[in-house]
Amino acid sequence: MRTYNLVKRVLVTGGAGFLGSHLCDRLLAMGHDVLCVDNLFTGSKANIEHLLPHPRFEFLRHDVTFPLYVEVDEIYNLACPASPVHYQHDPVQTTKTSVHGAINMLGLAKRVRAKILQASTSEVYGDPEVHPQPESYWGRVNPIGPRSCYDEGKRCAETLFFDYHRQHKLRVKVVRIFNTYGPRMHPNDGRVVSNFIMQALRGEDVTIYGDGSQTRSFCYVDDLVEAMIRAMGTDDGFTGPVNIGNPGEFSMLELAQQVIGITGSRSRIVFTPLPADDPKQRRPDITLAQQALGGWTPQVDLATGLRRTIDYFRAGMGEG
């Protein structure tokens, strides 16, 4: 017998991307019906190929800047390029995706009374002068720089989520994701973990931008997906914003050395110019997540996560 009340119809926008595809896996494993919507700008069918035959999985190629009429119970809004290289390629489209995409998905949630979660970002804190960053910090973001299309787009999306919540009583959840990595990142994604691993595996120079003293905190994808699922399951009174990430903080020089060490590569480290507005430090304060998400805490440390990710990229090179 089917338990109709437990099986939810869940929409994942950006579901063919790195994080979205892992989220689709997890939702299907939980027994839900999953509708994956993606325009394949940075995502790929390869990420969801294994899901296509699944009877509870559906893929729709669609751009979220255009309206979407479907019937669902929950929406995870992840559609948006996340790598600086890709989101700066067509910055106007990036802002449209964040802002028009949010409006359309919120309009959809309003019509069908769905619960909706926004994949926001630590970039809302910009280049922070408060360290580590708690949710109460309003950030330091350049409104007119090359990163602004993403940072301000995501900030405006948060504004929309809270206005739909206050104005239309929508059930919303906003999670601020800090740098997350793992298998299915695109080899040419341009973000630091995939760049360093691919360079090390190919024996090419490992490119550190600037002097490598800038820091980031890296969360393994499984820990992130677990937190997103828990955030969606919180009481209606809980909206976030809530930081999700791993508070372990590493300089880019330390990251490069770890990647070279684990791969056993002979690559050299080279230093190239630092891009404009590159944040100098970033580490999440995850006190709220630990309290609100049922005892959630990251389980996978950087060395373990890097080993798994390196195995994935190595296997991909073998196939290629």
Catalytic residues: 150
Under the binding rule (CB under 6 A), the answer on residue 41 touching ligand NAD is yes
> For residues 129 and 137, what is the distance between their CA atoms, to the nearest angstrom?
9
**Residue 4 near ligand UDP by CB under 6 A:** no
Tokens coding 76: 């995870």
H or E element at residue 209: strand 206-209
Q: Residue 69's binding partner, choosing from ligand UDP, ligand NAD, none, with beta-carbon cut-off 5 to 8 A by kind? A: ligand UDP
* Contact between 179 and ligand UDP per CB under 6 A: yes
The whole-angstrom separation of Cα 155 and Cα 194 is 26
Site string for ligand NAD, 175-214 (x = CB under 6 A): --x-xx----------------------------------
Question: Which residue of 12, 17, 158, 242 would you call a contact of ligand NAD, by CB under 6 A?
Answer: 17
Can you tell me the distance from the alpha carbon of 36 to that of 79, in angstroms, rounded to the nearest whole number?
Answer: 10
Residue 207 binding: pick among ligand UDP, ligand NAD, none (C-beta 5-8 Å cut-off by kind): ligand UDP
* Residue found by looking up tokens 């280049």 in the block: 127
Interaction between residue 81 and ligand NAD (CB under 6 A):
yes
Smallest separation (angstroms) from ligand UDP to the CB of 199: 8
First to last CA, the chain: 45
Is residue 42 part of the contact set for ligand NAD (CB under 6 A)?
yes
The binder of 74, among ligand NAD, ligand UDP, none, by C-beta within 5 to 8 A per type, is none
Within positions 70 to 129, which residues make up the interface with ligand UDP, using CB under 6 A? 84, 103-104, 107-108, 110-111
CA distances from 182 to 21, 152, 225, 294, 306 (A): 12, 26, 11, 24, 7
The strand pair at 215-217 and 249-251 is best described as antiparallel
Calpha distance 282→70 (Å, rounded): 38
Binding test (CB under 6 A) with ligand NAD, winner from 64, 106, 227, 306: 64
Which of 198, 196, 191 lies closest to 177 in space, CA to CA? 191
Q: Return the structure tokens found at 108.
A: 């959809």
Query: Is residue 156 a contact residue for ligand NAD (CB under 6 A)?
Result: no
Determine contact, residues 200/260, Cβ cutoff 8 Å. yes
Which residues contact ligand UDP (rule: CB under 6 A)?
67-69, 84, 103-104, 107-108, 110-111, 179, 191-192, 195, 207-209, 214, 216, 252, 275, 278
Which residues contact ligand NAD (rule: CB under 6 A)?
13-14, 16-20, 38-43, 63-65, 78-82, 97, 101, 119, 121, 177, 179-180
